[in-house]
Structure 1
Amino acid sequence: MKNILYLFFFLFTFSLLSSCSGSFKKEFDKKIETALESDCNITQTEFRELHTFLLENKEKTNKLNLVSEDGKINNEALENYILVSRPYIKQKKNCSEIALNSGNEKKERVIEPKLYLERSGSMVYYDRRQSRGQFKGALTKLLNNFDYLNPAKSLIYVVNDSVYSCNMSFDGLVKEADIFNAQETKKGKGNYTDFNQIFRSILDNLTEGQMSIMFSDLIYSTKDMKEKNRIKILTEAENLTNNIFGKYANDCSVLVLKLRSDYIGNYYTYENRSFPYDGLRPYYICFFAKNATMEDFLTNEKYQNVRDFYRLPEFENFYFFSNDKNIVNPYYSIVLKDGENEGRFNQDNDELHAKTDYVHSIEDVKPSNNDLLTINIVVDFSKLMLPEDFLTNPNNYVIDNLKDNFKVVSIQKEKDTPKVTHKIKISTNKAGKGKRDATIRLKKYFPVKWIEDSSSDDDKNVNSLNFKNTTFGFKNMMSGIYNAYNRQNKEFYCSMNITLNN
């Protein structure tokens, strides 16, 4: 109803706008025309540019009735202004449909999942009638949670020597007695997996608001594996992922989960020899998405059940690859009043008057009577997707601070404080003087222990104790992705800088 009132309002006042806003209205309409003329589309970036232009000319914008009582640009009014503007009406005659992507609907958008199911010789034995059904259970739980949110969208592809579209729904797939032998999934050649084509197809076809999910054992294989040197195969796997993901590392994020399931059937080694095997084997679920979509997935409450990975059958661990600045630059703030603080300090006066929602600078800093200065800092690590035991280990942090010699004492999980996930306590008994900075950095490690422990460089012995936990060449494939995301060899996930003065 509100939208309709806005539309009637603008239609009623449209003829008056030129007299009250003059050349400014013409200039603004020209910007709308420029945004529309190339592709019948106003993107979120173009909408933000229009928003910024109005903000920079707020006094003139006010005459167009686009400023709210709180002094901010009213995005809803701006949308409706565009809908009745001359450029929009004129362009509508040339376009079958015009998309207006203001970004206001982001909270209401539901991510569209696309399933990529590897159907190779080493995958079909994860879903056997004799098994306990861990693989099928994880697939069903994940798809059902997505299907509940977005029941109209079911995009399924089978991958092996190529990428094949399947004409079936998520519900139809999970109801199959054997998902790998359903009529629609029996596609392609299962004697090798062309990850070069698969990864490129997934990443090339990612759009904002979509998430591609691949179920795979991530065993690198090609048509010509027979008699190929084992070390050469491992090197190829690493080079492959490094080359492919390098193109997408700034725009896309990747989340890799490790799980295990019963495997009953023939296992094919890197030499393409087969052995019967009955036992647990690892497999992986990989999530691919544009940065903004991945951030939405990791933080939006509506996806809480989908991302509750710990409840998936035989879930073991995860690793997250991203260069999204919103993810690697977390919110943090000094806690001015905390029972565990030692000494005295106040928020910097300039920062206080700026009315920020954080405290990064403190002044009037004085140690306690026993020369201790202890500062607690709350931080939001929710988007980093790092294991809890990693985040709460003080050894994974360093502090760059020459004058105070701060040490990280502890990192605690914060459960009841909104907007933050952890509290970092730093302390020193040698507090410095004057104005100085202290920078807390979270160290990067790769390969992390679970990736190291999940990888083998020889899979010929199915009777080895580690066979049920390891994947041939897994570390190499993950290392290639890691290097693609870390071209600058950064040593830290994130940094948090605080300023002290006394």
Structure 2
Amino acid sequence: MRKTLFQFSVITILLLVFCSCERSERRVTKTEPAVAIDTTASVETPEPTIIEQKALKVKLYIENSGSMFGYVNGRTQLKDMLQNLLVDLKYEYNEDNIEIYFVNTKIHNNPIKTGVINFADKLSPNSIKIGQTGSSDLNDIFRQVTSEIEENSVSILVSDFIYSIKKGNTVNLLGEQQALTRNVFLTADKEGQKLTTNVYQYTSDYDGKYYDFNDDGKSFNGLRPYYLAVIGEQSTIKQFTKQIGPKFPKYKGYSNEYLLTAEDFKVEDFTVLSSTYNVGRIKPVRGSEINGQVRKIEVEDSGRGDVTFQMAIAVDLSSLAVTNNYITNIENYELENDDYTLFEIGQIEDGNIIFSNGEKQPISKTDLNYMAFNATHAFIFQSTNPNSENLSFRLKNNIPQWVKESSLLDDTDLTINTNKQSKTFGLDYLINGISEAYLQATKKVSYFDIDITIEKPKSSSFLGTVFGILFVLLIIGLIVIIILKRKTRK
């Protein structure tokens, strides 16, 4: 009996020690902090390379067909926008680097003798009657403007973006114009021009004759949309967008924008913020980091309530030649997994996430260890499914909804139909023509794609559970043996 009890005691102690060690090892693995990356010690800071950056030359083209006269009749929002734009251009690039032209069937030098600051005040239906203003071929205007783009220049076209077509089947004629627009930009690409085109929509007072697609001029006094097309080589547009781009949404009458580019954006730096602004408990998968950045996580515990999971992803989007207004518009993004929603997009400044309402969220020190790069934006994703799988999202270069909503096919009653006065005849055909050219040249449907791998918690206690069950069974077996031996002795 003593021998049996001794054997039982030894087995019990060994099992307790083994299970204790196994549980201890798991506790260490679970609570062990992420290894901090000492960027000052491990990464040598290279000597800064000084690159002489030439001042950009800005060429401003104003379409001056008769349909544009109404925008410069009196003190209009278009004039206000132009004056503020020229002030910003002069401040950034100096007046000597600003050229102003009028364009219709030809490009005409600016005959208005004044400095760029006062130029907008001098505009009137009489002062812009230069060249053949009776009609204009929008595709020919684009051809002229793109052919004048130089290595270090940016062209800005101010236009109502209205196709001039002959009488006939409107849809067929617009389709023909769309093909011609596509040809203009494909030709530029084939000739080696890797262009970026930023389209901005504005609204302005209009007092003049509106010419419908039948070329029937009718007096109109009210608000009308017009457009700016900012066109240039990728590198120059990137520089221009960084310096002047944030100003465009602040100009009077701003409504919308759309970026079209052949550039292959390289968004290489992004990391999951596993300890910042999260719901539920997540941790990086050890050994899976890429350039010290977290791309794979494990969800250890889901949150409670409506939102079971929330995480933030810090991304460096400084390479995108697009304004912050476009980047932070949630409607411009597409998610592959329906379990997730893009809840909010914030900007990152001085170690904080700053949201549109002014709220600041400090980034935890743990997460900063994985951010040895210049993160510009933070994306906050939510899910109501505790078993959500991998997350993939992209910034679309699809034509935005506002283009379709701003377009119409019949403008013959525009001057009396208030529902049509905020729309532009054939706009979606024009934008489609440009967009199709870029898509055909690049085969790209998004500006960037980001993928995050999400793993389910591994059952780290599996062995412990097995040994626990064996231990209980062993105890029960020993008790049964003892009872049976006692009964035998009796």
Q: Is the 8 A contact 2:197 2:260 kept in 1?
A: yes
Give 1:466 shift. Answer: 2.4
Question: Of the candidates 365, 387, 392, which is equivalent to residue 430 of structure 1?
Answer: 387
Pick aligned residue for 1:318 from 254, 257, 272: 257
Which residue of 1 is the match for residue 294 of structure 2?
359
* Candidates 284, 292, 295, aligned match of 1:346: 284
CA distance in 2 between partners of 1:297 and 1:286 (Å): 13
* Counterpart check, 1:482 vs 2:435: yes
TM-score (norm 1): 0.67
Q: 1:155 — aligned with what?
A: 99
Distance 1:240 1:421, change over 3 A: same
- Which residue identity lines up with residue 251 of structure 2 in the other structure? L
The one-letter code matched in structure 2 to 1:161 is: T
Q: Distance in 2 between matches of 1:232 and 1:366?
A: 55
Among 385, 399, 407, the residue aligned to 2:336: 399
Change (3 A) 1:316 1:175: closer
Q: Contact between 1:266 and 1:274, CA under 8 Å: does it hold in 2? A: yes
Partners in 1 of 2:382 and 2:398 — Cα distance? 22
Corresponding residue of 1:449 = 401
Secondary structure at the residue paired with 1:189?
coil
Instruction: Tell me the CA shift for residue 186 of structure 1.
Output: 3.5
Alignment check: 8 A CA contact 2:288 2:295 kept: no
Contact 1:336 1:347 in 2 (8 A): no
Cα distance between partner residues in 2 of 1:312 and 1:271: 33
Q: TM-score, normalised by structure 2?
A: 0.68
Q: Please say if 1:113 is aligned against 2:58.
A: yes
Report deviation, 1:386.
7.5
Q: Please say if residues 82 and 120 of structure 2, whose CA atoms lie closer than 8 Å, have aligned partners that are also in contact.
A: no
Percent of counterpart pairs with the same letter? 25
Instruction: Return the alpha-carbon distance in structure 2 between the equivalents of residues 73 and 180 of structure 1.
Output: 56
Q: Structure 1 331/199 Cα, relative in aligned 2: closer, same or farther at 3 Å?
A: farther
* Deviation sequence 1:143-195 (CA, Å, 0-9, x none): 1110122222231221111222235565276165334533xx43210122122
Matches within 5 A, 1:268-283: 268-283=211-226
The offset of 1:375, in angstroms, is 3.4
5 Å matches for 1:282-297?
282-297=225-240
Q: Which residue of 2 aligns with 1:139?
A: 82
* Counterpart for residue 31 of structure 1: none
Q: Contact 1:118 / 1:158 at 8 angstroms: preserved in 2?
A: yes
Equivalent positions of 1:77-476 (< 5 A) are: 104-106=51-53, 109-129=54-74, 132-149=75-92, 150-166=94-110, 171=116, 174=119, 176-182=121-127, 185-221=128-164, 225=166, 227-248=167-188, 251-300=194-243, 303=244, 307-326=246-265, 329=267, 331-346=269-284, 348-349=286-287, 351=289, 354=291, 356=292, 358-362=293-297, 365-368=298-301, 374-380=310-316, 383=320, 384-385=322-323, 391-393=329-331, 396-399=333-336, 407-408=340-341, 410-414=343-347, 416=349, 417=352, 419-427=375-383, 428-430=385-387, 438-446=391-399, 448-461=400-413, 462-476=415-429
Q: How far off its partner does 1:280 sit?
A: 1.3
* Number of equivalent positions: 378
* Aligned-pair CA distance for 1:269: 1.6
Cα distance, 1:406 vs. partner? Answer: 5.1
**Where does the alignment leave 5 or more consecutive residues of structure 1 unmatched?**
1-68, 77-103
Q: CA RMSD in A?
A: 3.2
The amino acid that maps onto 2:344 is I
* Distance in 1 (alpha carbons) for counterparts of 2:121 and 2:242: 33
Instruction: Tell me the SS of whatever aligns to 1:181.
Output: coil
Residue 119 of structure 1: how far off its partner (Å): 0.6
Check whether the contact 2:67–2:209 (CA below 8 A) recurs between aligned residues.
yes
* Residues 1:386 and 1:231: Cα distance change in structure 2 (over 3 Å): farther
- The CA distance in 2 between the partners of 1:373 and 1:450, in whole Å, is 32
Question: Could you tell me whether the CA contact under 8 Å between 1:242 and 1:484 is conserved in 2?
Answer: yes
Question: Which whole-Å CA distance do the structure 1 matches of 2:309 and 2:120 have between them?
Answer: 61
Q: For 2:101 and 2:220, how far apart are their aligned partners in 1?
A: 27
Alpha carbons of structure 1 residues 125 and 344: separation in structure 2 relative to 1, 3 Å: closer
Distance, in Å, in 2 between the alignment partners of 1:245 and 1:175 is 30
- For residues 283-305 of structure 1, the C-alpha deviation after alignment (integer angstroms, 9 at most, x for no partner) is 111111211112222234xx3xx
Instruction: Give the letter for the 2:387 counterpart.
Output: K
Q: Is the 8 A contact 1:367 1:373 kept in 2?
A: no
**Rg larger in structure:** 2
Alignment-mate amino acid for residue 280 of structure 1: L
- Offset at residue 137 of structure 1 (A): 0.7
Note if contact 2:312-2:378 (Cα within 8 Å) is conserved in structure 1: no
- SS of alignment partner, residue 325 of structure 1: coil
| Greater RCO (Cα-Cα under 8 Å, separation 6 or more) | 2
Offset from partner CA, 1:66-99 (integer Å, 9 cap, x none) = xxx95858856xxxxxxxxxxxxxxxxxxxxxxx
Q: Do the aligned residues in 2 keep the contact of 1:127 with 1:179 (CA within 8 Å)?
A: yes
Aligned counterparts of 2:231 and 2:177: Cα–Cα separation in 1: 19
SS at match of 1:246: helix
- The equivalent of 1:498 in structure 2 is 452
Distance 1:369 1:342, change over 3 A: closer
Is the Cα contact below 8 Å between 1:398 and 1:443 reproduced in 2?
no
Counterpart mapping for 1:13-92 below 5 A = none
- Cα deviations by residue, 1:389-423 (Å, 9 ceiling, x for unpaired): 97335x943236xxxx8523523323544632232
